[in-house]
A and B are shown apart, each in its own frame.
Chain A
Amino acid sequence: MVVLAESSPILPSELALRAYELSTDAVVKETCYGLIVTGSEQAVNETIEELRKLDPSGIFVKDRGFPPGDSRRCRAVRGGGPRPGFHQLEKESAILPSISYGLETIEDPLDVKHQKKRDKLKIDRFIEIIEEQSKEDVNG
């Protein structure tokens, strides 16, 4: 199962076209989130390897249990309802752009705030903040 991050400039249709161009033995199905690639392990791996080159940090891949169109899972046969695994995919798709950004910047040094722990707020400063805030509230 190939899932595109929202931040990726690639469209599922472009992925599908590239997969057809490769003409491996894998069967490709275009979906709203990316592609489903089915076939022998070798054919699937070859296809995935080539597809990843289009956007190495924006294309995510995972295994899928049921084959596409399987009557035990296919909504066309079961009469609708949510796609099994939809909630997992929905939740993880939301943070894929961040993961993609994490992959792109993996060699860059982390920001100082991640390297150095912030000091605790001093009690004197805390009292000052409260006083400033209460003055603002009285004046405002």
Chain B
Amino acid sequence: MAKILIFPSNSLILSDLVARFGHEPLTLMRVIRKKITEVGIDSPPINVTPEDPKKGLKYAAVDVPSGVRGRMALLDPLIEEAEAAIIVHEADYSFGCMGCARTNELVKYIVRNKDIPRLELAYPTNDDEARVFVRKIRDFCESLTHKAEVLA
């Protein structure tokens, strides 16, 4: 079972398909849940600690908008753990402010520079595209399974 970074990181469809085809999706929701529910919250209500900006600084300089660094602090554990990645373009709901836009660009850039298998797709808009979309994700997940078997 490979840990697959999905982008958009909160996608229901990607998260479901990756889990359905036998791998572990790395999602933002898991990071947030860990952050807000762990015992001994240091900084209520949502537990943003001084450690978070430091994580963000790994990826973006201090003069980059703080929103980018804040978002990167949450995405850092996902990028670190990722063994493969599925990136979906043209996700309308990932449209947002400059912090969102730059973070989206930065995450894609980092993932492309990381030496991991990667699948890039566009969101489907009809049944035919959805069939191809589902099939490509299935094939990608299966290729990772075979690779893991060969390595073992």
Chain A interface residues (CB < 8 Å from chain B): 1, 3, 60-67, 70, 72, 85, 87-92, 95-96, 98-99, 101-103, 105-106, 110-111, 113-114
Contacts and interface: CB of A to CB of B under 8 A. Distances in A.
Given A63-B30, A64-B33, A102-B127, 5 more contacts: A60-B12, A85-B10, A98-B126, A102-B131, A114-B131
Interface string B4-30: 000010111101110110000001111
A62 B46 contact: no
A63 B124 CA distance: 22
A101 B31 CA distance: 31
Interface residues of B, number: 38
Contacts of B16: 60-62
Given A3-B12, A60-B13, A110-B135, A95 B33 contact: no
A62 B12 contact: yes
Contacts of A66: 32-33, 36
Contacts of A85: 10
Interface of B: 8, 10-13, 15-17, 19-20, 27-33, 36-37, 45-46, 91-93, 123-135, 138
A111 B28 contact: no
Contact of B45 (A72, A88, A110): A72
A99 B10 contact: no
A50 to B, nearest CB: 15
